[in-house]
Amino acid sequence: MTDTKTAPEVAGAAAITPVISHWIEGRPVEVLPEQTGPVYDPASGQVIARVPRGGADEVDRAVAVAAEAFPAWRDMPLIARSHIFFNFRELLYRNREEMARLITQNHGKTFPDALAEVMRGLETVEFACGLPSQLAGMNTPNVSTGVDAFTLRQPLGVTAAITPFNFPAMVPMWIYPIALAAGNTMVWKPSSHTCGAAQLQAELWTEAGLPDGVFNVVYGGREAVTAIVEHPDIKAIQFVGSTKVGTYVYQEGVKRGKRVGSYTSAKNAMLVLPDADMEQTADAAVASGFGSAGERCMAQTLVIAVGDAGAKLRPLMEERVGRLKIGPGMDEGVDMGPIYSAEHRASVIEWIDKGEAEGAELVADGRPFTCEDSPDGFFLGVTLFDNVTPDMEIYREEIFGPVLGIVHADTFDEGLRMINEHQYANGTAIFTTDGGAARRFKMEVEVPMIGVNVPIPVPAGYMSFTGSKASALGDLAMRGEDGIRFFTQQKMVTER
Ligand code: NAD
């Protein structure tokens, strides 16, 4: 990134080179140019930085310093640990616009969307600031004559986070604040596509006074992930990304005795009943399906319309789709930025081709779109299909792009059954004015994060975030109470 703080700059030198660095023991690690790969600005299609391709050596080094830093961090009085979190919270808030700018530059999402992402991550940092009370155990005096029982929550040691490209600040901030607050040390492997925000987060932790070695960042792909999964000194891993990679991380990690949580791919559907407020529902469907170019695991990418809801909703959605402004994410008034990479753009186009070949009705076609101001950017228009059916691949599989499908169901029960029979179970929503129908939906839908007239029901940062079926592996959710349980070992003491 041409204007990101770089290794020499952080070290105090004047030169600025657009090279992102691994961050080990509280400082950047110099890398040779041949050990790096390109980072693109998807809005311009230009290479704007280089990012290192780390592997087993870098992971070994990061784990070694994290292991060394662990005892002192574990034993630091909670209030002192908490002060560092308050410092980080302040620095993050002060640098929120810079963080958002880096996200937009690497990912392509609009600046207001990127800023909202930073603020959602901040919520979990604030939850972690209250760590002295979050870590309290249970105490039961007098379980027998002169005998008391209590529980302790203790950190595990070196832990790891492996995160996706699409939320380079929010998703890691759902993981590492909890791990660190609980007294663990951390090796984080972000997505190389969106490394600018990762670099800034590492710098802010050092500035906040976090002891060296507690928080380390290693960039890389398969080799770095394999090294994390196989490293004997890493006790726990939280992974967020695709089901394919998440299943590998979960199975290989668990086989080696690690605690692993994998939060993975999704295909979310919103159920629209004929009594819904259709204007509000159309706004919600279009914002949810096309916001962030559909590259959100909680986007609703299927709209299941019951009875005549589809006939009412479709023209309202078409009208809104026609008004969407697509362009560089830093431009004012833009609703949707580019796709994050050229390869992914090609993959989304293949999915649109497939949807057409499968017989879905193409209402709006995003393929011919070009951005006049930025012809080399990875832009794609929005695609709306109608008459999508459960036998189609575009119904069953995650596309992770600006492609929304309308599906028709005759009854509430049929729509509910479609959602419950889908392989993925991440988020869902119902749009209705009938409180009874909404209650039945909440009780009977087999998807854990539910919106009632809310299209993207991401729980607040101090609550847990989860998934089931092919959308999550592991027994505990991320963040909140489950996050504390995941990152601590409980001990039960019986004392005479
Ligand atoms: P991805 O699975 O390609 O990458 C995730 C991480 O794994 C990255 O750090 C990446 O560098 C690494 N990785 C990629 N390929 C690998 C391989 N072959 N071997 C080992 N490691 C590898 O996912 P992505 O494309 O970065 O992110 C999009 C996916 O993430 C979507 O499926 C989306 O639904 C999912 N996601 C899920 C949640 C959730 O909470 N459930 C949140 C955000 C994104």
Q: Which pTM was predicted?
A: 0.96
Active site (annotated) includes residue 297: yes
- C-alpha 262 – ligand 1 centre gap (Å): 10
- Residue 132: its pLDDT value, please? 87
Low-confidence ranges of the chain (pLDDT < 70): 1-17
Q: In 3D, which of 418, 416, 448 has the Cα closest to residue 432?
A: 416
Query: Exposed, middle or buried, 154 (CB in 10 Å: 0-12/13-18/19+)?
Result: middle
Say what the pLDDT of residue 15 is: 38
Query: How does 278-306 read in b/e, with b if 16+ C-beta sit within 10 Å?
Result: beebbebbbbbbbbbbbbbbbbbbbbbbb
Sequence length of the chain is 496
Q: Which atom of ligand 1 is nearest to the CA of 263?
A: 41
Span between the terminal Cα atoms of the chain, in Å: 61
Calculate ∠ Cα 337-268-172, nearest 5°. 60
**Per-residue pLDDT at 402:** 98
Structure tokens at 41: 């600005």
Mutation test of ligand 1: which of 163, 242, 403 has the most ligand atoms closer than 8 Å to its C-beta?
Answer: 242
According to the model, what pLDDT value does residue 277 have? Answer: 98
- Determine the pLDDT at residue 32: 87
Interval between CA 258 and ligand 1 midpoint (Å): 20
Q: At 85, is the secondary structure helix, strand, or coil?
A: helix
Give the closest residue (by CA) to ligand 1 atom 9: 191
Confidence (pLDDT) at 362: 98
Handedness of CA 47, 228, 475, 170 (dihedral sign): negative
Say whether 94 sits in a helix, a strand or coil: helix
Q: How far apart are CA 3 and CA 49, in angstroms?
A: 9
The CA 163 to ligand 1 mean position distance, Å, reads 6
Q: Which atom of ligand 1 is nearest to the CA of 426?
A: 41
CA 84 to chain centre: 24
From the CA of 241, give the closest atom in ligand 1: 30
> What distance lies between CA 37 and its chain's CA centroid?
23
C-alpha–C-alpha distance, residues 336 and 242, integer Å: 23
Closest-CA residue, ligand 1 atom 17, reads 222
Torsion angle (degrees, nearest 10) of CA 59, 153, 467, 274 = -140
Q: What is the pLDDT of residues 229-270, one digit of tens each?
A: 999 999 999 999 999 999 999 999 999 999 999 999 999 999
Query: Ligand 1 mean position to 374 CA, how many Å?
Result: 28
Report CA-CA distances (Å) from 349 to 43, 399, 402: 18, 10, 10
